[in-house]
Structure 1
Amino acid sequence: MYHGPRDQVLPYFDSLGFKCPPDRDIADYLLDLGTRLQHQYEVALPVGLIKHPRAASEFAEHFVQSRVYAGLVDMIEAPMEPELEKHMSEYMDPVPEFREGFWQNTAALSIRHMTILWRNKAYVASRVAMTCVMGLIYGSTFYQVDPTNVQVMLGVIFQAVMFMSLSQGSQIPVFMEAREIFYKQRGANFYQTASYVIGYSIALMPPSVFEILIFGSLVYWMCGFVANVGAYFIYLILLVLTNLVLSTWFFALTAMCPNLDIAKPMSSFSIVFIIIFAGFVQPKSQIPDYLVWIYWINPIGWCMRALSVNEYRASKYNVCEYGGVNYCSEFNMNMGEYYLDQFGVPSSKTWLWTGAIFLILFYVLLLALSAYLLEYRRYLAPTNIQLLPKEIEDEAQEGYALASTPKHSDNTNSDTSHDDVMVDVPRREKNFVPVTIAFTDLWYTVPDPTNPKEGLDLLKGINGYATPGTLTALMGSTGAGKTTLMDVIAGRKTEGTIKGKIYLNGHEANDLAIRRATGYCKQMDIHSEASTMREALTFSGFLRQDSSVPDSKKYDTVEECLDLLDMHDVADQIVRGSSQEQMKRLTIGVELAAQPSILFLDEPTSGLDAHSAKVIMDGVRKILLKRGGQSVFVGKLGDRCQKLVKYLEAIPGVKPCPPKQNPATWMLEVIGAGVSSGRARDLDFVDIFSKSEQKRMMDDRLLQPGITTASPDWPEVTFMKKRASKGSTQLYFLMKRFFALYWRTPAFNLTRFAIVLGVAIICGLAFLSVDYSTYSGLMGGVGLVFMSTLFMAMAGFMGTLPVYSNDRAAFYRERAAQTYNSLWYFVATTVVEIPYVLGQCLLFTVIFYPMVGFQGFATAVLYWVHVSLFVLGQMYFAQLLIHAFPSIEVAAVVGALINSIFLLFAGFNPPSSSVPEGYRWLYTIVPQRFSVAILTAIVFCDCPEEPTWNESLSQYENIGSNLGCQPLTEAPITVSHTTVKGFIEGTFSYNYDDRWSNFGYVFAAIFIFRVLSMVSLRYINHTKR
């Protein structure tokens, strides 16, 4: 429309027949010219023009023919002046791409990341607590381990590494938040990508060292590792390097994945590889040749080999005779070499320093990968999806589609030249009851941050009222108390002390009446991301309008909101990825669809252009607030704000409003809310207003019947029900929303199905031809059942956290408005998981079960059912943590802590026979143990008639065909003769006869998770207002 010198813009549009009014901001005037409101600025056509330009293309034609455009073209095509070329070569060309050098940026970023980490008190405290608690639990559980029990000794190392994997994965949400800031700052050339990556890695080093010093030291000395200072420091160094590698891997994974819905489950999937192929669950000798390369590139495998060699090749174990057994004569190797050989671990001490070198190189490689991904693969904005195709409008309409908000017009005699810029919206029947709201002597006090024992008054005796059919605006600078006042009136405050009275129709209002009768548009636009705009409006209309209102009228309300806010073109667009302006319109529309008697709008114009803001706020009445929560004017504005202007100008010391200044801007400057300084700021506007005629008129008005005193013409606002809609309606719409949420969040569901497929295939290939009747094969098989089920469930657990964390804010907003009962929200979140879990576990079982050599169709069905219950329990546990804890970061840390404890006492490592007596109670109640016991027992312990041992022949007789009946072969000398079933039940206490009782315990655990989730939804609110 125009591009040229600023001082020529008004004369240019004057030449087209448009005139800026003296009390209109130039920027607002210019913006309105591109909307349907341009007609209000039209004046007589200049000579030579036939009509005023309307469409964007017509403005463009006029601009191309103007002298301003010709001057721009001449300037562009003119040769550059020698002086400018000189300035470019002297001043512009030498300017570096980045303001500071590489190392200065790296140092600054390191300090910044450390500061940010330290300020996240809840996250830091939870990680410190987790490290200390888990160090003590691991140390006491494996206290003074017998080195001849190699399964448990290496299991200590394995558990320590697995704990680090889970704990480092909890940092992914923190990495993801930092990535969004990086994209913005890197786009502005604040610093080099490599500086960011190296700086972040340096910032992660102190926490990693601190965690290992606490956790590693507790585990090392309590578990009875060799008492050698050199071995101890090697142990710490290897764990620190491994910790850094894992944190950097998750950092790189965050750079690789577009969002948390993918990054969290992918972290669990990656842990499957590093755990299964680390050499403990499946020794190297059992890994197929086509997968052994994973073993050799696995950093956890290198760490475990180095730590195992560090322990068993110490001088204490580098002997032939130990515990009454001469290993050299019997096995042709010393004691340490023998037990390393049981798990295929090479015994040369060179594996110590080669392991450290590999970890360092792998760490550097991950840093390079992270830098490459952040530099060349960026996810700058979420994808926006339109479920139904938009209708293409003509050019004129298309040019104004997003910038205008049509309104109803009663003027049937308008000038026909304006017909093309007005939209007539049919009147619709209103379903709300007109209500007068008033508030007197409102005070709001919070603890003083500098002295918590003292109170800080944010509102100081505020009085006011609003009558039906009016719009009242609270105006003032930042910190004046506008949002605070609305929060207090609308009953949205969760902290602090409130004093004063609020009236509805002259009757003192209770909390339910205020919440049911009001709608509240917050500054932040919070909605369920997977709904469409139309679905969000329908959800609000059906659940917040009374159940007595016919459905047809509720649908009519939705259409009216789409009309009023000009949202038809985006009605079928998913909320996720919508622009700020679209989100703001939706926020207002959601509250309008509820047909409230009173509507509160907090910063309703934020994110909107001047035209949209003007339409929304048309006809407003104003209450002015000074900084500090005090009134400085209450009353009618008059035409062009003349009553407000005259009131302020009458005060001695106030400069008159300049002829061409916007009265609203002048008012903010006068009362001290603007940026200019002047004598008016020394005036006490609060005191002046308290003595004014306007204050007396307001007090008189407040005392009128129907305002703060009862009146027979204004009935008391009461509600017999806490919520407007029926329970069945609430459940229907919540179920519909959550099934749509899951279906429209492929990043979550497709990822977990892909992970299940990957886990099934990888595990199937790894155990394709394993002999489960051998000791190493059986141990690997038990580990296979345990790990495959565990990490499939953990992938679901990690993926569930961001989904419900994103939806929690919408839940709090809707619960505050009494939209639905949290019970039905709970039921919907319970039901929606079931078909997806059953489907993904069926896919897993169909592939995994036959590939690993398990047999029996009936057993396969049971395996599928119990895997599904295990995964479902983890999903529900993730929901519980999100509802119970303040942030996803804290929920992830607490989840890692509790899951680490659960997995430690699931009966696999340590096996039940090695669990200390002091922890038997914990072992008994761990829910995962029951699922693992069922899965292991139905596969390995099904033996209807056990074989008998012939002592004279030293062999079993009457051996059945079932796997559980087979004799265990190739066992260490510490294991006496037994069958597969006997070893499993004797070592792990996974008894086949307990499968049905364990089944009941699994259901009981899921029930407890759901009850705790329900309690958290009902009684915990992390919104701090």
Structure 2
Amino acid sequence: MAPPILHPTKSVKLEFRNLNFLVNDASSALDRVRGTTKKRSILKDVSGVIEPGKLTAIMGPSGAGKSTLMNILAGYKTENVTGEILLNGAPRNNAKFRKMSCYIMQDDVLLLNLTVIEAMRFAAQLKLPLSKSRVEKERIIQDTLEMIGLTGCQGVMTSNISGGQRKRLAIAFELINNPPVMFFDEPTSGLDSATCYSCVNLLKALATGGRTIIATIHQPSARIFELFDSLYLLSCGYSLYRGPINSLVPFFAKEGIQCPPYHNPADFAIEVASGDYGEHWIPKLAKTNDMNANSIQAAEVDVQSINKSPESPKAVNGVQNESFTVSITSSFEDSDDSSDSSSQDGKVSIYLNQFTTLFKRSFVCVSRDMMLTHLRFAASVLVGLFVGAIYHDVGNDASKCFDNAGNLFFGLLFLVFSSMMCTLLTFPLERGVLIREHMNCWYSLKSYFLARTLADLPFQMFFPLLYIVIAYFMTEQPYDMFRLSIVIFFAILISLTAQSIGLLIGAACSLQSAVFIGPITAIPVFLFSGFFVTMKSVPAYIRWIAYVSYARYSFQSLLTAMYGFDRAPLKCGEPYCHFKNPRKFLEALNADDISVVDHAICMVVILVVCRFGSYMALRVKIMSERN
């Protein structure tokens, strides 16, 4: 039985006229400083009409402007763009168009710790209107999976599905809310020939259902090339051909460029666009193509007749869809109207739904992550036992005060690195997923950031607690709940602070840079902690670093918790113990006059600043991707 075809809620004709895209072209850094940059044209007066119900390809050699044209048509690039883009004959509202279209990127980046059905349910919860019931959402999910051919692998982890299934799942995500316009960037990249044909055949079926489908493609086989209805051939920013696929070879033949016998027309088109038949043909073909109105009109169909047509989709490559057509009512008009006309309470409900859904998804992913959860649990237990064995019985011995200080310092060191190094990878590893989902208007960046950072909060609190409880009692620290509470509080606080710094570095830097920069930033923090050198020994001109050292605030607070608050004299197994009075040890480390409350406030300030900085860094990076 053929897969069902989901009809879009409305047909959309996308028309663009005289598109030009300019970028600054500076030959050197000195030119940029002088402001003598020149403008370089990436697209040059590109025009065309992309009809609903047809599968349209954008082809061209590297540097031809394919991705640029796609990004402009999708609404991602708006700066330095001149020309006109119309939607069903009217000027396009870019914000509304982004909500009624989707962009499936070349890299199928998925959250690997979810099953197919879990990923689909989270996507449905984020993309479908809040008015949809759970039963309706489940029906839409099952209909989409059946149409896309993934019904049999619903319980499979996304990390275990094949490349073709990953591509289909990425398409299924966007089909949940039934968009009338879909953009595909190299949909066949990295797939074998059979999977490529299956993927493009699926796009053909989606287009036949009435959607506007645009895809960039690189040298398809002749069999795959025939599945496309229309072609836009670009070279050096010019449009060399726009029109039906079956008119491509006759068009070039008419201009004097003959396609060799038994030659793939797609390869022939790329060879012409690459200048293999002479670079003088490129501007000539571009001029001829602009003058030849028939190359556009031959492919045009009145969009109103499509909207009024009651006929069901026709057969695709001999596969008749028959009457097996599923009607999906998740219209963009409903979601747009509800969001545009909603009250403040409605907007709060939308953000709350986004936050709760993303929090649940992130919590599931983190709990199943071997590195973030399982290994950290094992490390917290094993390191706690190891430290407890080494520093056994140092907490109440006056002759081992410095050993106990080393125990506290090492504990902070372990908590900082175990928290920071894991969260360094949070945003770099999910960057592709975030870009895909945020660009396709699944959720706001605020909702994602809050949910993703708070989902790790229970683990960031549990693992320090686990380590501290093991190490605290094995090292014979005071059996005092007040002191233990202070130790646990600052252990959790320094873990959260290190997590915030890790998030900031991960959001601002690449994966390779973050892994290197993270540990480097911890060096001055621990150097000025008060364990290696006291504040009095630090030169005045760099003493300010100590005031931003969260390790100093934590270390001094732990020392105060252990030896302050009028602790009774320590036991001494030697003839003389200088630090039998605990206050003398605090004086030796310049921690006798500190306020635990003030130190906690300073650490909270550092934590909040780093969290806000990580959000702004992530926002800037996403905005740079958009432009």
- Match for residue 343 of structure 1? none
- Aligned partner (choices 190, 194, 197) of residue 611 of structure 1: 197
Letter of the 2:125 counterpart: F
Query: Conserved in 2, the CA contact under 8 Å of 1:462 and 1:630?
Result: yes
- Match for residue 688 of structure 1? 288
- Match for residue 169 of structure 1? none
| Structure 2 CA distance for aligned equivalents of residues 585 and 922 of structure 1 | 52
- Aligned partner (choices 377, 391, 399) of residue 767 of structure 1: 391
- Match for residue 16 of structure 1? none
- Match for residue 484 of structure 1? 68
Name the structure where strand makes up a greater proportion of residues: 2
**What SS does the corresponding residue of 1:455 show, helix, strand or coil?**
strand
| Structure 2 CA distance for aligned equivalents of residues 838 and 456 of structure 1 | 53
**What SS does the corresponding residue of 2:114 show, helix, strand or coil?**
coil
**What SS does the corresponding residue of 1:600 show, helix, strand or coil?**
strand
Residue correspondence of structure 1 range 637-716 to structure 2 within 5 A: 637=245, 641=246, 643-651=247-255, 653-655=256-258, 658=261, 660-669=262-271, 671-673=272-274, 677=277, 684-695=284-295, 697=297
| Structure 1 CA distance for aligned equivalents of residues 65 and 337 of structure 2 | 30
- Match for residue 439 of structure 1? 16
- Match for residue 508 of structure 1? 91
Q: How far is the alpha carbon of 1:874 from its aligned partner?
A: 1.0
- Match for residue 539 of structure 2? 916
- 1:790 and 2:413 correspond: yes
Q: How far is the alpha carbon of 1:516 from its aligned partner?
A: 1.1
**What SS does the corresponding residue of 1:596 show, helix, strand or coil?**
coil
What whole-Å deviation, never above 9, does each CA across 1:754-780 have from its counterpart, x for those lacking one?
2212221221111114476546x2122
Query: Conserved in 2, the CA contact under 8 Å of 1:785 and 1:932?
Result: yes
- Match for residue 995 of structure 1? 596
Change (3 A) 1:967 1:912: farther
- Match for residue 583 of structure 1? 166
Query: Conserved in 2, the CA contact under 8 Å of 1:930 and 1:998?
Result: yes
Q: How far is the alpha carbon of 1:442 from its aligned partner?
A: 1.1
- Match for residue 1015 of structure 1? 616
| Structure 2 CA distance for aligned equivalents of residues 733 and 580 of structure 1 | 27
Q: How far is the alpha carbon of 1:795 from its aligned partner?
A: 1.9
- Match for residue 499 of structure 1? 82
**What SS does the corresponding residue of 2:590 show, helix, strand or coil?**
coil
Query: Conserved in 2, the CA contact under 8 Å of 1:773 and 1:968?
Result: no
Query: Conserved in 1, the CA contact under 8 Å of 2:63 and 2:236?
Result: yes
- Match for residue 256 of structure 1? none
Identity %: 24
What whole-Å deviation, never above 9, does each CA across 1:67-126 have from its counterpart, x for those lacking one?
xxxxxxxxxxxxxxxxxxxxxxxxxxxxxxxxxxxxxxxxxxxxxxxxxxxxxxxxxxxx
Q: Which has the larger radius of gyration?
A: 1
Report the aligned-residue RMSD: 3.5
Query: Conserved in 2, the CA contact under 8 Å of 1:748 and 1:799?
Result: yes
What whole-Å deviation, never above 9, does each CA across 1:808-840 have from its counterpart, x for those lacking one?
221122222221112221221232222212322
Change (3 A) 1:900 1:490: same
Change (3 A) 1:625 1:861: same
- Match for residue 54 of structure 2? 470
Query: Conserved in 2, the CA contact under 8 Å of 1:760 and 1:844?
Result: yes
Letter of the 1:538 counterpart: R
Q: How far is the alpha carbon of 1:475 from its aligned partner?
A: 2.4
- Aligned partner (choices 740, 746, 749) of residue 373 of structure 2: 749
- Match for residue 528 of structure 2? 905
Q: How far is the alpha carbon of 1:985 from its aligned partner?
A: 2.9
| Structure 1 CA distance for aligned equivalents of residues 293 and 93 of structure 2 | 32
Change (3 A) 1:988 1:493: farther
What whole-Å deviation, never above 9, does each CA across 1:735-755 have from its counterpart, x for those lacking one?
121111112211332211222
- Match for residue 860 of structure 1? 484
- Match for residue 606 of structure 2? 1005
Letter of the 1:687 counterpart: K
| Structure 1 CA distance for aligned equivalents of residues 389 and 586 of structure 2 | 27
Q: How far is the alpha carbon of 1:938 from its aligned partner?
A: 1.0
- Match for residue 313 of structure 2? none
- Aligned partner (choices 220, 236, 239) of residue 631 of structure 1: 239
| Structure 1 CA distance for aligned equivalents of residues 478 and 122 of structure 2 | 49
Higher relative contact order (CA 8 A, sep 6+): 2
Could you tell me the TM-score, scaled by structure 2's length?
0.80
5+ residue gaps, structure 2, are: 205-226, 307-332, 341-346
Query: Conserved in 2, the CA contact under 8 Å of 1:464 and 1:698?
Result: no
- Match for residue 839 of structure 1? 462
Residue correspondence of structure 1 range 526-541 to structure 2 within 5 A: 526-541=109-124
Letter of the 1:616 counterpart: L
| Structure 1 CA distance for aligned equivalents of residues 458 and 338 of structure 2 | 38
| Structure 1 CA distance for aligned equivalents of residues 536 and 43 of structure 2 | 65
| Structure 2 CA distance for aligned equivalents of residues 873 and 919 of structure 1 | 22
Letter of the 1:443 counterpart: N
- Aligned partner (choices 519, 540, 546) of residue 102 of structure 2: 519
Q: How far is the alpha carbon of 1:621 from its aligned partner?
A: 2.6
- Match for residue 192 of structure 1? none
**What SS does the corresponding residue of 1:499 show, helix, strand or coil?**
strand
Q: How far is the alpha carbon of 1:520 from its aligned partner?
A: 0.3
**What SS does the corresponding residue of 1:924 show, helix, strand or coil?**
helix
Could you tell me the TM-score, scaled by structure 1's length?
0.50
**What SS does the corresponding residue of 1:1020 show, helix, strand or coil?**
helix
Letter of the 2:490 counterpart: H
Change (3 A) 1:967 1:443: farther
Change (3 A) 1:469 1:857: farther
Query: Conserved in 2, the CA contact under 8 Å of 1:624 and 1:631?
Result: yes
- Aligned partner (choices 38, 63, 70) of residue 454 of structure 1: 38
Change (3 A) 1:762 1:823: same
Q: How many residues align?
A: 561
What whole-Å deviation, never above 9, does each CA across 1:667-713 have from its counterpart, x for those lacking one?
444x3449x6579958822122122242573899999999xxxxxxx
- Aligned partner (choices 876, 886, 896) of residue 500 of structure 2: 876
Residue correspondence of structure 1 range 143-292 to structure 2 within 5 A: none
Query: Conserved in 2, the CA contact under 8 Å of 1:934 and 1:995?
Result: yes
Q: How far is the alpha carbon of 1:968 from its aligned partner?
A: 11
What whole-Å deviation, never above 9, does each CA across 1:356-393 have from its counterpart, x for those lacking one?
xxxxxxxxxxxxxxxxxxxxxxxxxxxxxxxxxxxxxx
| Structure 2 CA distance for aligned equivalents of residues 522 and 696 of structure 1 | 27
- Match for residue 439 of structure 2? 816
Letter of the 1:780 counterpart: D
| Structure 1 CA distance for aligned equivalents of residues 581 and 81 of structure 2 | 69
Query: Conserved in 2, the CA contact under 8 Å of 1:464 and 1:702?
Result: no
Letter of the 2:358 counterpart: L
Letter of the 2:66 counterpart: K
| Structure 2 CA distance for aligned equivalents of residues 606 and 817 of structure 1 | 21
Query: Conserved in 2, the CA contact under 8 Å of 1:623 and 1:631?
Result: no
Change (3 A) 1:551 1:507: farther
- 1:779 and 2:381 correspond: no
- Match for residue 729 of structure 1? 353
**What SS does the corresponding residue of 2:233 show, helix, strand or coil?**
strand
Q: How far is the alpha carbon of 1:574 from its aligned partner?
A: 2.3
Letter of the 1:561 counterpart: T
Change (3 A) 1:698 1:500: farther
Q: How far is the alpha carbon of 1:899 from its aligned partner?
A: 1.7
- Match for residue 982 of structure 1? 583
Change (3 A) 1:915 1:433: farther
Letter of the 1:587 counterpart: A
**What SS does the corresponding residue of 1:576 show, helix, strand or coil?**
helix
